[in-house]
A and B are shown apart, each in its own frame.
Chain A
Amino acid sequence: MSPVAESVPPKGGFSFDLCRRNEMLVQKGLKQPSFLKTGTTIVGLIFQDGVILGADTRATEGPIVADKNCEKIHYMAPNIYCCGAGTAADTEAVTDMVSSQLKLHRYHTGRESRVVTALTLLKSHLFSYQGYVSAALVLGGVDVTGPHLHTIYPHGSTDTLPFATMGSGSLAAMAVFESKYREGLTRDEGVKLVAEAICSGIFNDLGSGSNVDICVITKGKKEYLRNYMLPNPRTYVSEKGYSFAKKTEVLLTKITPLRELVEVVEGGDAMEE
């Protein structure tokens, strides 16, 4: 640690020191590293008994699909989930961070977390980074005050809505919502509408694709339906299978059952994601 750094306490927020250097390097011809973006269609809607969130599962790195089946619906609290669009690292980090802050808050207060708490923590964090944390979120949950659905933009502004879409596929999904949403949907109608909106994004937007994830949150209960729909199955699988190059020799195949060697404790605490 240099002696100079010790005397100045860290001020927090974004440090813009390296921005001038980065601009100078780009002018000199440096190709900036591309980041993993979630092209994305994320949606949320409020139905009779709570909130339904939906997301596609494609993560893109420029024109390439980096992850065909990633998880975009993040856990915030047992009764609150958050869909994230934008830079994948930013959405992961910001939702993880606020999720831990919420847990500590729950220990401190002894009460169930409220959606507005998560909302305020997220928006103040994003605002203090002036839009450089590129995370566009759809936050939904059910707490003591009822079901809530919010959208949060990278610069820190928020909306409270009965139905919302974000991401590059948001227009395709919003077209479905605007023509078919009505109040007082039942659970099955709501899930069907969310799946339709995500499919509209998957098939009409190039940044979204693969499968549909859905999360239904009601009072006291949540259902995380991972890969609820798989509308893009791999239809052709070569019957020849995989043939090794002639030079490869399989010398020996030995399978060691590890259960006999170690003690496995069944059950125990499942790790919350």
Chain B
Amino acid sequence: MNLADSTQAMNNLLGSEADSQRTLYPYVTGTSVVGIKYKDGILLAADMGGSYGSTLRYKTVERLKPVGKHSIIGASGEISDFQEIMRYLDELILYDNMWDDGNSLGPKEVHNYLTRMMYNRRNKFNPLWNSLVLGGVKNGQKYLGTVSMIGVHYEDNHVATGFGNHLARPILRDEWHENLTFEEGVKLLEKCMRVLLYRDRSAVNKLQIAKITEAGVTISQPYALKTSWDLSAFKNPTAGAEGSW
């Protein structure tokens, strides 16, 4: 009851013509992104699904993109808003290149730009409906941060968006350590993505892993994870409780 009152009041405050221009809910969404720091740089993982509500509409959505020379961004949430963010970032990098001063924007600067953008949009009640992960390496310094749709931002050794926060971060808190090798990092990310595949309804079994080091960005080809459904209890689940399901 209270919720209805406040939305009515808010609508009155903003005027009726403003309603049609605001983001009220997301339409085509991507699910979690998981990122970790490892010995040589940053690893990000995201699947390639774009859900339209409860339908799996798009199965080849690239949710990991390079930004400039030193960073990669991963996004979950509304895909069209992510495409808009990429336009803004491309413009930012372009203007930076036009200075031609030998310096280039690093991951920390891009993260800050994203934070300001998300927070200002949120203050206008017209958010970009995304949770972003930004990782990169510049001058040997590794950086991994995240920004949510309301502008909450922080950096850490391992981050995740959406369901990844509940399912992947407990695993990462236990098993992440400094100086993981590339193989160990990929194995750890695959472990998290496998649990997400089992337990997140909007996950698909087609994922990409992005790696960024001092040398540059590599985004892998899409591949699928091996899953195991051969627990004997699943073969005849109601053997013990006849008539149940």
Chain A residues packing against B (C-beta within 8 Å): 26-27, 46, 115-116, 119, 145-146, 148, 150, 158-162, 171-172, 174-176, 178-179, 183, 196, 200, 203-204
Contact B241 A158 (CB under 8 A): yes
Tell me if B55 is interfacial: C-beta within 8 Å of chain A. no
Inter-chain contact A145/B240, CB cutoff 8 Å: yes
Residues of A within 8 A of B166 (CB): 171-172, 175
- Distance in Å from the Cβ of A197 to the closest Cβ of chain B? 9
Contact flag A146-B194 (CB < 8 Å), given A172-B166, A175-B170: no
Taking CB atoms, residues of chain B closer than 8 Å to A171 are 163, 166-167, 170, 199
Give A162 to B228 CA distance when docked, in angstroms. Answer: 14
Q: In the complex where A116-B240, A160-B240 touch, is A175 in contact with B233 (Cβ < 8 A)?
A: no
- Whether A179 lies near B240 (C-beta < 8 A) is no
Is there an interface contact between A204 and B169, defined as CB atoms closer than 8 Å? yes
Q: Which residues of B contact A162 (CB under 8 A)?
A: 231-234
Contact A204 B170 (CB under 8 A): yes
A176 / chain B contacts, CB cutoff of 8 Å: 170-171, 174
Smallest CB gap from A170: residue in B: B166
Interface of B is mostly: helix
Write the nearest CB–CB distance from B176 to chain A, whole angstroms.
Answer: 13
Q: Which of A46, A150, A178, A196 has the most CB of B within 10 A?
A: A178
Nearest CB in chain A to that of B200: its residue: A171
- B244 interface residue per 8 A CB criterion: yes
Q: Chain A contacts of B110 at CB under 8 A?
A: none
The contact string, 1 if C-beta is below 8 Å from chain A, for chain B 136-177, is: 000000000000000000000000000100111111011000
- Whether A175 touches B168, Cβ cut-off 8 Å, given contacts A148-B241, A160-B237, A204-B173, is yes
Rounded to whole angstroms, the CA-CA distance of A171 and B234 in the bound complex is: 20
Which 7 A-B residue pairings sit nearest by Cβ, starting from the closest?
A162-B233, A171-B166, A172-B170, A204-B170, A148-B240, A178-B195, A175-B167
Question: How does the 8 Å CB contact mask read for B39-70 relative to A, with 1 for contact and 0 for none?
Answer: 00000000000000000000000000000000
Q: Min CB distance, A150 to chain B, in Å?
A: 7
* Nearest chain A CB to B45 CB, angstrom units: 15
Which of B1, B239, B241 is close to A119, meaning CB atoms less than 8 Å apart? B241
